[in-house]
Amino acid sequence: MPTYLHQGTEIEPTEAMKFQVIVAGSEITGKEDVILVFHTNEEFSKMAAQTRYGDQVQGTLQLIREKVLPERKRAALIQRMHRLALQHKEASFREFAELLDKDPKDEEVIRMAMLDRTPLTPNLFDPMLLYDRAIEREPPTTSPQDPRTAWLPIPSGFWPDLGWVGWNDRAQSVRFFGMNILCQHKWFGGRWAWLFGFNGLLNLSHLGFARITSSVISY
């Protein structure tokens, strides 16, 4: 079970889930099993300013306010574009796995696509994979092994409504590279979960995010 901290003080998991912002990943928290909580994104941004992610965190919040949310008036067109992009990414990743004669969830697919990639490896794996089942082993070392597991690769970008591809309130675990953000409601509303790390694996129940993610930001 992770340790939850607010302003350096350990709190109970039930209390942690009441905070609007939750942050995981040793590059920010200092340890893999430590999760930080904040009342607001602005509070987190001040803390993140002391890390190498400071400008990226602040820039993301500024983009949301100034560039992303005003685009909601074009939601119908954006829905068509995003559905096409996500479906194309899933198909490309599935075809890459078939080329290796592996299941898309197989660790070798991740290794070939990201961990051991060379300048000649096509950019087929993006910063985040969502799974609709929990990872069976803690701490997680592989993606979910249940053969019924469905997965969704998330390309870099701002994705305001996972329901456009049937993934609203569906994800239970995640694999992530770099900085990624899960949001509780469509168009980046509600609670936020910031994820930092290289090949991080996490059951979203530890963040209070199992089956409630509706929009995501991926870098």
200 neighbors 25 (Cβ within 8 angstroms): yes
Spatial contact of 69 and 188, defined as CB atoms under 8 Å apart: yes
| 209-219 confidence digits (pLDDT tens) | 999 999 999 99
Out of 21-30, 53-62, 83-92, 202-211, least confident range: 83-92
The one-letter code for the residue type at 138 is E
Determine the average pLDDT of the residues in 27-49. 96
> Among the listed ranges 41-45, 154-158, 192-196, which one has the minimum average pLDDT value?
154-158
> How far is the C-alpha of 2 from the C-alpha of 110, rounded, in Å?
25
| pLDDT, tens digit, 9 for 90 and up, residues 45-59 | 999 999 999 999 999
* pLDDT for 153 beyond 80: yes
Q: What is the pLDDT of residues 81-129, one digit of tens each?
A: 999 999 988 888 888 889 889 988 788 887 777 766 667 666 666 679 9
Q: Which fold has domain 3-218?
A: Gamma-B Crystallin; domain 1 (2.60.20)
Before 122, cis peptide (omega within 30)?
Answer: no
pLDDT reported for residue 122: 65
What's the pLDDT band for 199 if we cut at 50, 70, 90? Answer: confident
**List of residues 6+ apart from 204 with CB closer than 8 A:** 171, 172, 173, 174, 182, 193, 210, 211, 213
In the numeric block, which tokens belong to residue 211? 């089956």
b/e burial code for range 177-201 (CB count within 10 A of at least 16 → b)? bbbbbbbbbbbbeebbbbbbbeebb
Alpha-carbon distance 201 to 204, whole Å?
9
Give the pLDDT of residue 198: 85
Q: Where are the domains of the chain?
A: 3-218
